[in-house]
Structure 1
């Protein structure tokens, strides 16, 4: 720090000498300020870009959300798919059967799923199929109307009650007006895109009457709250399209033909189909974008799809998909939940992610801090559940469950993963290395290698997390380069790892998470592991390691130990105070 003085305190000669002596320091200080200013400007620009894309135009109320700028799944935006929707027959039949079951009292049915999966389109088809059977009906988009009060006013308007008769009333008064209007009629009300749970504020307008209310939402807790069944058997969870249905929809949009003649053997569009992951809006927007570029060859389309996240940022034909993704991301209120979501970019596309492993990694990275109200592990589980609740990550195999009855494996939608990767790249959060991409940035902190066999010449001393899928160059496996490493996942590394590598790993004193794979050649874990005083998770399930040394049992912070191994006879009675699994 330099003290600023006045002419009365020092002569001009002394000041001149002082300026000469501090010239280099002041130059470095000015340079640092310029760099910080540049980073701040870039971050501000990035934030404005994403928030402007995710902003919601509320405008004036309309009778249908299908003409709103926030209706991401509209039939009018996708005329081809709306005329003969692919894969809608089975869900429509299930909903129609559920709605038409003989039941005199109110039935509320919730349709839940990720934005862009086709909830609005499905609800619209069901609504138009049944509307002639109901005397009173209304379709209201909650995202457009905003509050419960506005939703109720719009329902009243569509029921034909003049605005002047209820304009100044309270919410309860408005609900009474609705009830008086429909109490002797069969009614069908659709509340589309409900983003906050206000059903309990307006349900008095419908409870006890004979009618149907259908709600669409991307939030599981909102769907459960609206359901009229305590067992939630009136919550309909939307599913993505299967492989054949995805292919049909993709090529129907790509070639603007209801029955395109495409040879399945040529694998045209295979990369796009993989990244769209069965999400209808992704399939439609990506197909139209690729079709607009011309030259429909597998190589050309694969090249365009390789960096689809960047195209989401700049291409107008992908704008609808981008708005959906930005809206889902911005719906996460807590910063640490967003960080946990971005961390999923470490995994390859379509890769199953184990719930327990991911939560342990979040904790090892230090993303989540506990307090006296909620411990860090509980907060991490809460963050994971929030991503499920928002339909951002999906369970994969519901038949495979852990001891607590929860699903073990999950994955993020392919297009959401592309969005995550692009955001991570812009923020220099996660660095992915492939053989076919440009050199990584100079400063790397979270590093994931997907079959990257080229030499890495970057400074690796700042890397906090290293995950290797497939094979890596030996320059990456020189663990003496890593000084700040907290997470090391070599479970799927195909390089042979011997005593030298394990000795270097045992010098990573900040390591908190260590997972080794079946390419570890040793059968006995080295005693040097005692240096890892901060290690919380040790996973050797896939290794050939058969014997654990005494030193493992003495690690002070070890909480999770996975593997099939023998303990030496002198450690059989030792107790590990913190060990949980």
Structure 2
């Protein structure tokens, strides 16, 4: 198990001290970035000099944080070794030395997505932290939401699979189970990337996540998508709390609810 909270790690086994992960040094940072940005290049091949200098500068900006390096490598992968594009990435965005710097890297990954992929990414905020998401279920939800366009050369399911593969290539999702044919069966989302999805979804009024019953009140009746991610104890039954979501709700996901009463006939629950 991994945790950023030291007390959680210590409580797992009081007799074995936790193994603390440290930031990568400059060489390992560069190696990880190039591995993600230039996956088709053999390890014994030298990186082109015009890219190596830029890669060194970019890897230093990540301050040895593997997540930031991996996500940034996914962004550079889409630039196909174009040194002008790599330089634009280096100089266009603001970088910081603290945790916010990592979030800026993650936000850059979102900003670099094509428009059709952004809605699919924000939709990941529907699911709770560390939740293993079924690729089949998610694809069905994307299609039901209208995120997947019709193409004569491919079904909507195939198009959605391509979108999911692209999120994987950008290091947005972490595959948990895959098929022998290379298809993604289930995956998880790192909590920092999930936080980013929630932030963007909230900013664009795309989706609202409720962590506890008290979050639901009369002020959120205009939302169209909602995710309830809290547990309702039997003694806390409230048959009216679902009505607070209002008549405009069209997509609703429920997680960990011991009791639910739904009274809005005009809404759809996907």
- Separation in 2, partners of 1:435, 1:217: 34
Give the drift of 1:319. 3.0
Equivalent residue, structure 2, for 1:463: 249
Give the drift of 1:370. 1.1
Give the drift of 1:401. 3.1
- Separation in 2, partners of 1:349, 1:388: 18
Equivalent residue, structure 2, for 1:482: 265
**Is 1:371 aligned to residue 151 of structure 2?**
yes
TM-score (norm 1): 0.31
- Separation in 2, partners of 1:438, 1:217: 34
Per the alignment, do residues 385 and 451 of structure 1 end up closer, same or farther by CA in structure 2, a change over 3 Å counting?
Answer: same
- Separation in 1, partners of 2:213, 2:246: 20
Rg: which structure is higher?
1
Structure 1 unaligned residues grouped into runs of 5+:
1-83, 96-108, 114-135, 143-189, 194-215, 227-314, 489-581
Residue 257 of structure 2: SS of its match in structure 1?
Answer: strand
The 5 A counterparts of 1:42-53 are none
The 5 A counterparts of 1:436-475 are 437-440=214-217, 441-453=220-232, 455-471=241-257, 473-475=259-261
Equivalent residue, structure 2, for 1:111: 35
Larger relative CO (CA 8 A, sep 6+): 1 or 2?
A: 2
Per the alignment, do residues 220 and 403 of structure 1 end up closer, same or farther by CA in structure 2, a change over 3 Å counting?
Answer: farther
Contact 1:388 1:394 in 2 (8 A): yes
The 5 A counterparts of 1:390-539 are 390-396=170-176, 400-402=177-179, 404-435=181-212, 437-440=214-217, 441-453=220-232, 455-471=241-257, 473-475=259-261, 477-478=262-263, 481-485=264-268, 487-488=269-270
Residue 119 of structure 2: SS of its match in structure 1?
Answer: helix
Contact 2:207 2:225 in 1 (8 A): yes
Equivalent residue, structure 2, for 1:81: none
Contact 1:462 1:482 in 2 (8 A): no
- Separation in 2, partners of 1:218, 1:418: 20
Cα deviation per residue 1:167-212 (whole Å; 9 max; x = unaligned)?
Answer: xxxxxxxxxxxxxxxxxxxxxxx6856xxxxxxxxxxxxxxxxxxx
- Separation in 1, partners of 2:125, 2:256: 16
Per the alignment, do residues 371 and 416 of structure 1 end up closer, same or farther by CA in structure 2, a change over 3 Å counting?
Answer: same
Cα deviation per residue 1:114-144 (whole Å; 9 max; x = unaligned)?
Answer: xxxxxxxxxxxxxxxxxxxxxx9995115xx
Give the drift of 1:390. 0.8
- Separation in 2, partners of 1:389, 1:469: 28
Residue 451 of structure 1: SS of its match in structure 2?
Answer: coil
Per the alignment, do residues 404 and 317 of structure 1 end up closer, same or farther by CA in structure 2, a change over 3 Å counting?
Answer: closer
Residue 463 of structure 1: SS of its match in structure 2?
Answer: coil
Runs of 4+ in 1 over 6 A off after TM superposition: none
Equivalent residue, structure 2, for 1:140: 53
- Separation in 2, partners of 1:220, 1:318: 19
Give the drift of 1:418. 0.8
Give the drift of 1:417. 0.6
Give the drift of 1:343. 0.2
Contact 1:451 1:472 in 2 (8 A): no
Cα deviation per residue 1:274-323 (whole Å; 9 max; x = unaligned)?
Answer: xxxxxxxxxxxxxxxxxxxxxxxxxxxxxxxxxxxxxxxxx995431231
The 5 A counterparts of 1:225-374 are 318-333=99-114, 335-374=115-154
**Is 1:86 aligned to residue 22 of structure 2?**
yes
Contact 2:34 2:73 in 1 (8 A): no
Give the drift of 1:447. 1.9
